[in-house]
Amino acid sequence: MAKNTEIELKLVVSKDNLKKLLAFDCVTDTLRADSMQKRKLVSSYYDTEDLAFKRQGIAYRVRSKGDGTYEATVKTSVQNAAGLSERMELNLPLASARPKLEGFGDLGLPTELTELAPNGVSKLFTVTVQRTTYILDLQGAVAELAVDHGKIVAGKDNAEPIDEVEIELLEGDKGVLLELAAKIAAAVPVFVEKRSKFVRGLALRGIMADEAPVKEKFGTGLVKDEVLAALAGHGEQLLTLQQKLNDNVSEELLKGLRRELLACRSLATLAGIEECALLTEALSTVENVRRLLALQALWQRIMFKGLLLGRSSLQKKLAEATLIAVQKLQQAAASGHFTAIVFALVSMVYKAELADASVEASVKDALKQWQQVLLQKVPGTLSVDGKDIVPPDDGDGEAMLLPIKLAAAENISALARCTNLKAAAKASEAVKKQRRQLHKQAVLVGWQEQLQAICDASTSKLVYRETGMILGYLLAKK
């Protein structure tokens, strides 16, 4: 870890889930004995009248540390990667709560604050929190887990509560911190707070913070670095969509979720991650909702064409099944399922042994492997990741290969969206027609399974009859 670099995760956790987090074995098993401390921290943030510090990407604060000591801190612009922030942090002891601008150049700041603020500074807002901290002795790292409860105050009428958890890497490997976050997110509903207290305070003053653009496409560096950067970008998009799921489940939102999940899967596969169970489950849930909505729309069109007269029992069953599927998706979002996906993927890629492979070489190798999967015929042997899969002799080999081939085609298409490399764009264009056909087949298989499930759960002859009608319609269109 570079000197003077702050690396931390900022999470939002409900009170009930905070208790679960603190009781989680990954925390309790690593908790240093007698390390808990409680303090009241009062931090005042300052800038010039024309916000010269902010324009330079600097946040300056003076903090009362709760033990009779004071400290001035400078933080530079944050590099936020799906919840993990990295930035320079420089600290200077003070004799009082009065701001001091001199001395940060000696600590490593390129520009002295006095040069940016020749006329001094004024207070922007104050952050007051009750902080409880714990030291975690992890395998290969030491971290501080801090629980903050308090508020940001900017003037008389502008205030906002603070209830968050920060996990800061004190020493050791950043990958250990990511692994801890992945384990916590998989067991406890947590959500990423991308905004720092400084950014939230600026918002209360009506000041828009400058945010670094999110990187979603590859550069030309090493594959591990580029995949992590792209995963961070797509991960942030996924976390934004997770928040929106609580309000409404629209076709546009579902398409966005599917797009980002497929992008994350292709990136992980490129880095050698064979499977992420959390991601696979989320994709299945999203696809189930989309197919049920499409099946409802199809059945309504059939009824509209006059193929069915009177009340439809199947329509009611489809509506019920769709509602259950939507609720399952929203419950997954409410439990932080997508947060867990992002942390899990970033952690796995960070730990992956990718040597010094370049993006270009890795992309070409991945494209070649996926293209070979798409060329497989039934009967025959399919080779995936060096393993041979022999389809059964019961005539169902094509059905078994369908999800594998579809995943390969989708990975090619998603990878083309994640990079500007011509090889990926060319490969995506070449498999576009095949990908659409595979997806159409997968939808038909999904519809048949959903209709069969409705029949199995019903004793109504009307449901059986109407299910037979729609299955016949699908076979005629096939």
- Read off the pLDDT of residues 52-68 as tens digits, 9 standing for 90 and up: 999 999 999 999 999 99
Determine whether 218 is exposed, middle or buried from the number of CB atoms within 10 Å of its CB (0-12, 13-18, 19+).
buried
Mention every residue, 6+ apart, whose C-beta is less than 8 A from residue 281. 337
Domain holding 39, by residue range, is 5-204
Task: Please give the average per-residue pLDDT across 23-52, as a whole number.
Answer: 96
User: Per the confidence metrics, is the pTM higher than 0.85?
Assistant: yes
Are 456 and 331 in the same domain?
yes
CA distance 237 to 416: 17
Mean pLDDT, residues 359-372: 93
Residue 211 has pLDDT above 80, yes or no: no
Please state the rounded mean pLDDT for residues 145-164: 94
pLDDT in tens, 402-417: 999 999 999 999 999 9
CB within 8 Å of 364: residues ≥ 6 apart: 423
Q: What is the pLDDT of residue 343?
A: 94
More confident residue, 4 or 126: 126
pLDDT digits (tens, 9 = 90+) for 246-276: 888 999 999 999 999 999 999 999 999 988 9
**Alpha carbon 355 to its chain's center:** 25
Q: What is the rounded distance in angstroms from the CA atom of residue 439 to the CA atom of residue 428?
A: 15
Task: Note whether 245 and 175 are same-domain residues.
Answer: no
* Residue 209, in any domain of the structure: no
pLDDT at 391 over 50: no
Q: What is the CATH number of the domain that holds 53?
A: 2.40.320.10
State whether 160 and 222 are in the same domain.
no
| 282 pLDDT above the threshold of 90 | yes
Least confident window among 20-34, 214-228, 318-332: 214-228
Q: What is the pLDDT of residue 214?
A: 61
In angstroms, the CA 258 to CA 293 distance is: 15
- Cα 463 to Cα 44, 304, 317, 373, 446: the distances in Å are 66, 18, 8, 39, 18
15 contacts 171 by C-beta, under 8 angstroms: no
Res 376: pLDDT: 83
Instruction: Please give the Cα distance from 310 to 429 (Å, whole number).
Output: 46
Q: Name the CA dihedral angle for 455, 457, 459, 461, rounded to a multiple of 10 degrees.
A: -20
pLDDT-derived band of residue 123, with 50, 70 and 90 as boundaries?
A: very high
Other CB atoms within 10 A of residue 399 CB: 14
pLDDT of amino acid 138: 96
CATH of the domain at 289: 1.40.20.10
| Per-residue model confidence (pLDDT) at position 378 | 57
Is residue 101 a part of any domain in this protein? Answer: yes
- pLDDT for 393 equals 44
Rounded to 5 degrees, φ, ψ at 251 are -60, -40
Q: Which two tokens stand for residue 166?
A: 């920060």
Residue 2, pLDDT > 50, answer no
CA dist., res. 289 & res. 322, Å (int) = 6
pLDDT for position 1 = 38
Nearest partner of 162 among 179, 173, 142, 148, judged by Cα = 148
For residue 415, how many other CB atoms are within 10 A of its CB? Answer: 28
Neighbours of 408 (CB within 10 A): 27
3-state secondary structure of 261: helix
If you average pLDDT over every residue of the chain, what do you get?
89
- For the chain, the domain total comes to 2
397: pLDDT strictly greater than 70: no
Binned at pLDDT 50, 70 and 90, residue 74 comes out as very high
Q: What is the pLDDT of residue 23?
A: 96
The answer to whether residue 338 scores a pLDDT higher than 80 is yes
User: Is the pLDDT score of 394 beyond 50?
Assistant: no
Mark whether 55 and 85 lie in a shared domain: yes
Alpha helix ranges (H) inside 88-222: 104-107, 113-116, 174-187, 197-204
Domain identity same for 441 and 473: yes
**C-beta separation of 194 from 184 below 8 A:** no
Could you tell me if residue 140 is inside a domain? Answer: yes
pLDDT score at 161: 95
| pLDDT reported for residue 212 | 61
Answer yes or no: are the C-beta atoms of 131 and 41 closer than 8 Å: yes
Q: Quick one: 193 and 298 in the same domain?
A: no
Token pair 């439990």 in the structure block, residue: 335
Residue 73 has pLDDT above 60, yes or no: yes
Q: What angle do CA 152, 153, 157 make, to 5 degrees?
A: 135
Residue 307 pLDDT exceeds 60? no
